[in-house]
Amino acid sequence: MKLDIDTLRAEAGGIHDQTRVVANRVYYDQAIYEAEIENIFSRSWNLLCHESEVAEPGQFLTMRLADSPIVMVRGKDRRLRAFYNTCRHRGARVVMEECGQKTSLRCAYHFWVYNLEGELIGIPGEDAYDGTGFRKEDFPLVELRCETMFGLVFVNPDLRAMPLEEWLGEEIIETLRTPLSLAEYTVTTIRSTELAVNWKVFAENARDGYHVPFVHPFFLKASPPGEYKLCANGHAVQRVGIDRNGMTEELWDAMQRDRLPGMGPLDGYVMNLFPDGFLMVRCNFVAIDVQHRSDPTHLRFEERQLGVNGETPDVTERRAMGQKAFLWDALNAEDFPIFAAQQEGVMSRGVANSIIARGRDTTTGLRGDDNRLRHFWRQWREMMGTDRNA
């Protein structure tokens, strides 16, 4: 009955196309969140990190994928794998540390031991299982699909999902090729913060050009918009430039001294990867944003800065000047407070809907209209199996 009331309210406002209305409860409802885990995060290629963080055999990284703890580890065969970080014995987390290097993975509860390829290789008192039909080879760590593209690491729980290359599509891959295929990159900085917001708040904001003139005065002066392109599977690319007159000479000099391979002095783009992956590429830096959700209204937001292998600390610092000015500082000072305000507002019991009706449904254009948001919601509806944003 709630859906019918929402529909009537939207139509009373003159908006009859329900794809241009979002039910506000999608930002906090537990049942919707659980359906998103089942239908979106468990079927998508999720951008999680960069392979330089797990470059050598035995290096590992733990994180969350939707509601599940996972561990990524580089095997002795140098293959990168992702496993659910759950012991097959009594379900405890196997790896407790956030990152590091090990020769094997041992659960702290009963000391079951797995090798770097996920095989169960050691059990204390194994002879107690004699006659039960238990065999170690039947209980490896449960593996997820894990693939990389130009060093970006993606994980997908769905063994039947399309290959990563097909999920990203030709336009996204060709865009990433410059500069990511032209050098060896490494993560130089990771920044993180806890946010009391739904994951879609950032995913939408990263596609929303309408707010830029009002929320981001530096962007308005220093970052003229170029053409955007809406791509397959909910992805999008926005070209962005640099206006020298909108920044200090120090920042301009820092960004021009160490340009990335293939990047011109004014080149840049922002990329949205469905469901919630984000990259900002400018002439001298690459930043990767990911979210680790814990419930419908809480997550940890992480941002990684990339540098070229072997570069000196002063080059890394100059890259950080650009990355902070164009992304991290703006997020902290300008976007994060807006995120909090939106999350608080959508939880109002008396306001059922939000509006994404601005503009025509074009696939290219400049910064501004809501068609980029509707593109996100179109993919959301397709994966959730519904005909409305609710």
Q: In the predicted model, is pLDDT for residue 1 greater than 50? A: no
The string of pLDDT tens digits covering residues 308-366 is 999 999 999 999 999 999 999 999 999 999 999 999 999 998 999 999 999 888 888 87
Report, in angstroms and rounded to the nearest whole number, the Rg of the chain calculated over CA atoms: 22
pLDDT of res. 61: 97
The string of pLDDT tens digits covering residues 160-176 is 999 999 999 999 999 99
DSSP letters of 359-378?
S---SEE-TT-THHHHHHHH
Q: In the predicted model, is pLDDT for residue 205 greater than 80? A: yes
Given pLDDT bands bounded at 50, 70 and 90, which one contains residue 6? low
pLDDT of res. 4: 54
The string of pLDDT tens digits covering residues 295-308 is 999 999 999 999 99
Segments in 119-180 forming alpha helices (H): 164-168, 170-180
The string of pLDDT tens digits covering residues 266-282 is 999 999 999 999 999 99
Cross-strand pairs, 256: none
pLDDT of res. 8: 44
* 3-class SS letters over 43-106: CCCEEEEEHHHHCCCCEEEEEEECCEEEEEEECCCCCEEEEECCCCCCCCCCCCCCEEECCCEE
pLDDT of res. 193: 97
Residue 129: how many other CB atoms lie within 10 Å: 12
Q: Dig out the tokens for 186 from the structure.
A: 């490494």
Of the chain, the percentage scoring pLDDT greater than 90 comes to 91
Given pLDDT bands bounded at 50, 70 and 90, which one contains residue 13? low
Q: What is the mean pLDDT of the chain?
A: 94
pTM: 0.94
Given pLDDT bands bounded at 50, 70 and 90, which one contains residue 9? low
Spatial contact of 283 and 260, defined as CB atoms under 8 Å apart: yes
**Distance separating alpha carbons of residues 390 and 386, to the nearest angstrom:** 8
Of the chain, the percentage scoring pLDDT greater than 70 comes to 96
Q: In the predicted model, is pLDDT for residue 2 greater than 80? A: no
pLDDT of res. 12: 43
pLDDT of res. 7: 53
The string of pLDDT tens digits covering residues 92-124 is 999 999 999 999 999 999 999 999 999 999 999
Q: Which domains does the chain have, with CATH numbers?
A: 46-148 (2.102.10.10), 182-384 (3.90.380.10)
Report helix angle 313-323 to 249-257, nearest 10. Answer: 130
